Amino acid sequence: MITKIKEKKRAIALRKQGFSYSEILEHVPVTKSTLSEWLRHIVLTEKQKERLADKMSVSSKLGAQAKREKRIRITEEIKRKARREIKKISKRELWLMGIMLYWAEGAKEKEWRPGSQTEFGNSDPRMIKLYLKWLIDVLAISRERLVFKIYIHENHKHRLTEVKKFWSEVTGFDISKLQQVHFKKHKIKTNRKNITNKYHGLLVIRVRASSSLTREIAGWVEGVDQCSGIV
Q: Could you tell me the pLDDT band of residue 187, with boundaries at 50, 70 and 90?
A: low
Helix (H) or strand (E) holding 118: strand 118-122
Query: Which of 10, 45, 64 is the endpoint of a domain?
Result: 64
Judgement on whether residues 163 and 209 belong to the same structural domain of the protein:
yes
pLDDT in tens, 81-93: 999 999 899 999 9
What's this model's pTM, rounded to 2 decimal places?
Answer: 0.71
Quote the pLDDT of residue 42.
82
What mean pLDDT is reported for the chain?
Answer: 89
pLDDT over 90, % of the chain = 57
DSSP 8-state class, residue 113: B
Residue 79 maps to a domain: no
CA angle, 143 then 145 then 151, to 5°: 95
Strands 118-122 and 202-207: antiparallel
Judgement on whether residues 108 and 57 belong to the same structural domain of the protein:
no
- pLDDT > 80? residue 231: no
Residue 86 maps to a domain: no
Which of 33-37, 54-58, 95-99, 108-112 reaches the highest mean pLDDT?
A: 95-99
* Among the listed residues 115, 122, 118, 110, the one whose alpha carbon sits nearest the alpha carbon of residue 139: 118
- pLDDT > 80? residue 189: no
C-alpha–C-alpha distance, residues 49 and 61, integer Å: 18
Judgement on whether residues 37 and 98 belong to the same structural domain of the protein:
no
Residue numbers of the domain that contains 118: 91-228
Residue 22 maps to a domain: yes
Of 13-27, 71-85, 113-127, where does mean pLDDT reach its minimum?
Answer: 13-27
The one-letter code for the residue type at 138 is V
C-alpha–C-alpha distance, residues 220 and 222, integer Å: 5
Judgement on whether residues 125 and 60 belong to the same structural domain of the protein:
no
Residue 119 maps to a domain: yes
How many domains does one find in the chain?
2
CA angle, 98 then 99 then 101, to 5°: 60
C-alpha–C-alpha distance, residues 30 and 8, integer Å: 9
User: For 43-72, what is the mean pLDDT?
Assistant: 84
C-alpha–C-alpha distance, residues 146 and 155, integer Å: 28
- pLDDT > 70? residue 192: no
Judgement on whether residues 7 and 99 belong to the same structural domain of the protein:
no
